[in-house]
Amino acid sequence: MNGAAPILETRKLSKHFGGFVANDAIDLAVQPGEIRGIIGPNGAGKSTLINLMTGVHQPSSGDVLLAGESLVGRKPHEIARKGLVRSFQVSRVFGNLSLLDNLTAPHLAAARTREACQEGVAKARRLLDLVRLTSLTDAPAKTLSGGQRVLLQAAAGFMMPALTCYLLDEPFAGVNPVIKDQLIALIEEESRARGLTFVIVSHEMAVMRRLCRKITVLIEGRVVAEGSLEEIASRA
């Protein structure tokens, strides 16, 4: 990853809500294949930053770039089609459809060849295996537990076409340790196998230490530190 141009970048990115400065001249550069963590106290501007990068909000000033192309002014669905996806954009679970159909329906609707259809089904089966839901492949999604639904929705995100960068806002909140470990394994495998880039907002420091070599710390809308958790702690 060293020396590569950033896949996702913000330049002096700011957002004001009236007189309140939610993000203040944020410079962020995420390399291809990186798993970047973003931490900070509540109200630090973490979710606002994700909203700016994905077009939910437009910046007051500054720029957001994906593979060198500005995303400012684009709508969330346009940005998602370019490969920058956030967790809440993943389609909801359809209870009456099987797990396999939940994953493949959007893919098959866009597929234009038999080979593309077959690739989509194979990809879905691989993802179900990664999240340990293979035994429920043909079961209706309404039979899943809450944690299993989280896993299915996470897998659905990886089915989105052109995905290059996945933004996850508190993906581990409220899930039990078993589900958490499966989500971590899924992120690690998709990063390794496909070279996907992740930006993860989380308060789970043990998870961030495991997943992220580099952490960005936000406080009051500003970047105050970057580095590994150990490096950040040593400078505190």
Domain ranges of the chain: 1-90+163-236, 91-159
What are residue 60's phi and psi, to 5 degrees?
A: -75, -30
Q: Give the per-residue pLDDT at 110.
A: 67
Distance in angstroms (rounded) separating the CA atoms of residues 218 and 221: 6
Q: Give the per-residue pLDDT at 187.
A: 94
Centre a 10 Å sphere on the Cβ of residue 85 and count the other Cβ atoms it contains: 23
Q: What is the pLDDT of residues 107-146, one digit of tens each?
A: 776 677 888 888 889 999 999 999 999 999 999 999 999 8
Residue 161 pLDDT exceeds 90: no
Centre a 10 Å sphere on the Cβ of residue 123 and count the other Cβ atoms it contains: 16
Q: What is the pLDDT of residues 51-61, one digit of tens each?
A: 999 999 999 99
Q: What is the rounded average pLDDT of the residues 163-177?
A: 90
| Separation in Å, CA 20 to CA 43, 99, 131, 212 | 11, 44, 41, 30
Q: What percent of the chain has pLDDT over 90?
A: 73
Q: Give the per-residue pLDDT at 184.
A: 94
Q: Give the per-residue pLDDT at 3.
A: 64
Q: Look up the CATH architecture of domain 1-90+163-236.
A: 3-Layer(aba) Sandwich (3.40)
| Separation in Å, CA 75 to CA 9, 62, 152 | 17, 17, 26
Distance in angstroms (rounded) separating the CA atoms of residues 124 and 28: 33
Longest dimension (CA), the chain: 56
Q: What percent of the chain has pLDDT over 70?
A: 96
Within 13 Å, how many C-alpha atoms sit on residue 109's CB side? 7
Q: Using CA atoms of 199, 20, 232, 211 in order, give the dihedral in degrees to the nearest 10.
A: -20
